[in-house]
A and B are shown apart, each in its own frame.
Chain A
Amino acid sequence: MSGDVVLKSGIGRYTAVPWRGLRLWLLSFPLLFASVAVMVAFSLVGAGIGIFLVPPAVMMLRSLLDTHRGLVSGWTGRRVDRPYLPVPEGSPMQRFSAIIQDPATWRDMAFLLLDPIVAAFTASLSFLLFLYGVYGWVLAAFVGRIIKEHGGNEWYTFVPLQGSFSDHPVNAGLIAGLGTAYALTGLYFGPRLMDAYGRWTQSLLGPTEKSRLALRVQHLSETRADAVDASARELRRIERDLHDGAQARLVAMGMSLGAIEHLLDRDPERARILLAETRESSAKALRELRDLVRGIHPPVLADRGVGDAVKALALDHPLPVEVAVDLPGRPDAPVESAAYFAVSEILTNVAKHSGARRVWVDVRHEAGMLRISVTDDGQGGASLDGGTGLRGIERRIGTFDGVLALSSPPGGPTIVTLELPCELLSS
């Protein structure tokens, strides 16, 4: 899990830790107060009004904890994912019961109550040790003498305090040496203590196996619904195209042929004209069928796979498109098709909106992923929302657990990257 986050290297890896640990520990106190607010809301459930108060209070707490998760993930290198089951829109009662049935709510509370103590002994321990070390130096430097002069009686760990360097150099030297040892110990064990704190956070704030499954089920049912919708829409479109196009033309052709049969003897000249028209009509019907099939499953995709199909797209594109393909085999047909149509739509977008002069497409298979990136040198500033259709692409490749990433700073370049997990079938 670690390695997801870039940790500081070298000496910085050690020196940054005590401060971060301290901040995490200090943060646990306001969080504790927030949890008290939630508990108050719960205590009012008996009076009825708690049912209305609990959902917003818990939501607030969750968003605070999300920040905390981000912080812990970044600082400890242990990724803490969100464990919450979705809270339904609906009446307060429904929301309330969903919240109290989500084990994550109770695990949050347990975390918040224990965190000040746990954080003190893990995250902030390196800071505390360091601080104690510094205290030793301060005693040795001059404070020891002041304390003694005022009749104070003090121990530094197991060393009875007798003064500072100026009056008791040996005693002070011992204390300063001990202090240095404490400070170094704190620094040295800092990263490990931080890691321990990360594990603690993961264990209560992270998802359990069960909530992971529940979230997965939710994702799957959403993407399945999308897929079913999309295919139903697609079938309706095909039906309409056939009905209005080829089918209508065939009916017209049949009628013309009837008329020609009728005219053949009486008016051969007119029959000849009608025949030419009918032939033209059959060519049009073929053309329409061809376009329709191209929209369903392009022939090059069927013949050669996604690599050559993208090359064919590039050839038909109004801008010069460079395509680099590195695929030792072919992905499954549905994945291929999803990837192809995604690239097709992205390229259409580029032509329409980007103002680009050149486009680069890179198709490769790495670490179990089909990875496609489309780069253009246009003006940038594209967003996932705002009618670019990227959201739709994201949804469709979501059916295959694919993800889409967009990088489009103002001024360009724009890079759209798709990743679809898949195995390659050897071609």
Chain B
Amino acid sequence: MRVVLAEDLALLREGLVSLLQAHDFEIAAAVDNGPSLLKALLDHRPDVAVVDVRLPPTFTDEGLQAALEARRQVPGLPVLVLSQYVEQLYARELLADGSGGIGYLLKDRVFDAGQFVDAVRRVAGGGTAMDPEVVARLVARGRDDSPLARLTPREREVMELMAQGRSNAAIAQQLVVTERAVTKHTANIFAKLDLAVSDDDNRRVLAVLAYLNS
């Protein structure tokens, strides 16, 4: 699997390169600023990009902008965005085109190599990987007029794990229930969020989007 990597701190960049190489990823390019990231994404068309939000030259959301621009030109290009902070605003912008293949994680998730690599693979496969923090902040907000309020506590748990990009099997394992029960919950969630029947993967992305937009 070919990866384009963008991270301006050399130490962290080297760390990510060796981590990904150790898990059989091929590093197509590792860059340290926004403009060369965009160029690398368009030149290499990688299977997945791992991108730091804040990059030179502006040290603002250069990385995010480059990733969004690349996805405009190559729809569905899988991008995993890493950041010191998670912002719902950015999560929504990333998910806005509804085509999936999006990850948005705090940088410290890299500490757990297994889970991180798992997230990279999920994103490369067109799934989503939203940081639990995004979900936690949505729940902490506690609005009572959103469609989410219609979900039962159990359905909300399933929804949270779905937003993180877990498969039904993984959710079942985590919540210690059968996979069939999870399937039932997800069907209920789709119904309550008014998502029409379509292919399951896409609906999962839309459900997460609805969740964020609530």
A: residues with CB less than 8 A from B are 279, 282-283, 286, 290, 293-294, 299-300, 302-304, 308, 311-312, 315-320
Output the nearest chain B residue to A302 by Cβ-Cβ distance: B60
Complex Cα–Cα for A26 and B60 (A): 66
Q: Looking at the assembled complex, report how far the CB atom of B170 sits from the nearest CB atom of chain A, in whole angstroms.
A: 21
Contacts A282-B111, A316-B88, A317-B141 known; 19 new A-B pairs at CB < 8 A: A279-B111, A283-B108, A290-B84, A293-B84, A293-B85, A299-B54, A299-B83, A299-B87, A300-B87, A300-B90, A303-B53, A303-B60, A303-B61, A304-B60, A312-B88, A315-B88, A316-B137, A318-B141, A318-B142
For A319, the chain B residues whose CB sits under 8 A away are 143
Given the known interface contacts A279-B111, A303-B61, A304-B61, the answer about A311 and B141 at a Cβ–Cβ threshold of 8 Å is no
The reply to whether the CB of B22 lies closer than 8 angstroms to some CB of chain A is: no
Contact A283 B143 (CB under 8 A): no
The reply to whether the CB of B11 lies closer than 8 angstroms to some CB of chain A is: no
Q: Please report the number of residue pairs spanning A and B whose Cβ atoms sit closer than 8 angstroms.
A: 45
Complex Cα–Cα for A136 and B13 (A): 99
Contact B143 A318 (CB under 8 A): yes
Q: Looking at the assembled complex, report how far the CB atom of A197 sits from the nearest CB atom of chain B, in whole angstroms.
A: 57
Complex Cα–Cα for A273 and B24 (A): 29
Complex Cα–Cα for A318 and B146 (A): 11
Within 8 A of A (CB), among B75-94: 83-85, 87-90, 92
Q: Looking at the assembled complex, report how far the CB atom of B29 sits from the nearest CB atom of chain A, in whole angstroms.
A: 24
Highest count of chain A CB atoms <10 Å: which of B53, B64, B85, B143: B85
Number of interface residues of B (CB under 8 A): 20
Complex Cα–Cα for A308 and B85 (A): 15
For B137, the chain A residues whose CB sits under 8 A away are 316
- Secondary structure type dominating chain A contacts: helix
Highest count of chain A CB atoms <10 Å: which of B89, B92, B108, B143: B89
Complex Cα–Cα for A399 and B214 (A): 37
B111: which of A283, A290, A317 is its contact (CB, 8 Å)? A283
Output the nearest chain B residue to A287 by Cβ-Cβ distance: B108
Complex Cα–Cα for A294 and B85 (A): 9
Complex Cα–Cα for A299 and B89 (A): 11
B: residues with CB less than 8 A from A are 53-54, 60-61, 64, 83-85, 87-90, 92, 108, 111, 137, 141-143, 145
Output the nearest chain B residue to A317 by Cβ-Cβ distance: B141
Output the nearest chain A residue to B64 by Cβ-Cβ distance: A303
For B145, the chain A residues whose CB sits under 8 A away are 320
Output the nearest chain A residue to B213 by Cβ-Cβ distance: A315
Output the nearest chain A residue to B107 by Cβ-Cβ distance: A286
For B142, the chain A residues whose CB sits under 8 A away are 318
Output the nearest chain A residue to B142 by Cβ-Cβ distance: A318
Given the known interface contacts A303-B60, A318-B141, the answer about A290 and B85 at a Cβ–Cβ threshold of 8 Å is yes
Complex Cα–Cα for A311 and B91 (A): 13
Complex Cα–Cα for A294 and B89 (A): 15
Complex Cα–Cα for A115 and B88 (A): 65
For A320, the chain B residues whose CB sits under 8 A away are 143, 145
B85: which of A279, A299, A311, A315 is its contact (CB, 8 Å)? A299
For B111, the chain A residues whose CB sits under 8 A away are 279, 282-283
Contact B141 A299 (CB under 8 A): no
A–B pairs, 29, beta carbons within 8 Å: A279-B111, A283-B108, A286-B108, A290-B84, A293-B84, A294-B85, A299-B54, A299-B84, A299-B85, A299-B87, A300-B89, A300-B90, A303-B60, A303-B64, A304-B60, A304-B61, A308-B89, A311-B89, A312-B87, A315-B88, A315-B92, A316-B141, A317-B141, A318-B141, A318-B142, A318-B143, A319-B143, A320-B143, A320-B145
Q: Looking at the assembled complex, report how far the CB atom of A325 sits from the nearest CB atom of chain B, in whole angstroms.
A: 12
Complex Cα–Cα for A260 and B143 (A): 45
Output the nearest chain A residue to B83 by Cβ-Cβ distance: A299
For B84, the chain A residues whose CB sits under 8 A away are 290, 293, 299
For B83, the chain A residues whose CB sits under 8 A away are 299
Complex Cα–Cα for A279 and B111 (A): 8
For B87, the chain A residues whose CB sits under 8 A away are 299-300, 312
Q: Looking at the assembled complex, report how far the CB atom of B95 sits from the nearest CB atom of chain A, in whole angstroms.
A: 13
For B88, the chain A residues whose CB sits under 8 A away are 312, 315-316
For B60, the chain A residues whose CB sits under 8 A away are 302-304
Complex Cα–Cα for A318 and B141 (A): 5
For A286, the chain B residues whose CB sits under 8 A away are 108
For B54, the chain A residues whose CB sits under 8 A away are 299, 303
For B53, the chain A residues whose CB sits under 8 A away are 303
Output the nearest chain B residue to A311 by Cβ-Cβ distance: B89
For B143, the chain A residues whose CB sits under 8 A away are 318-320
Complex Cα–Cα for A315 and B87 (A): 9
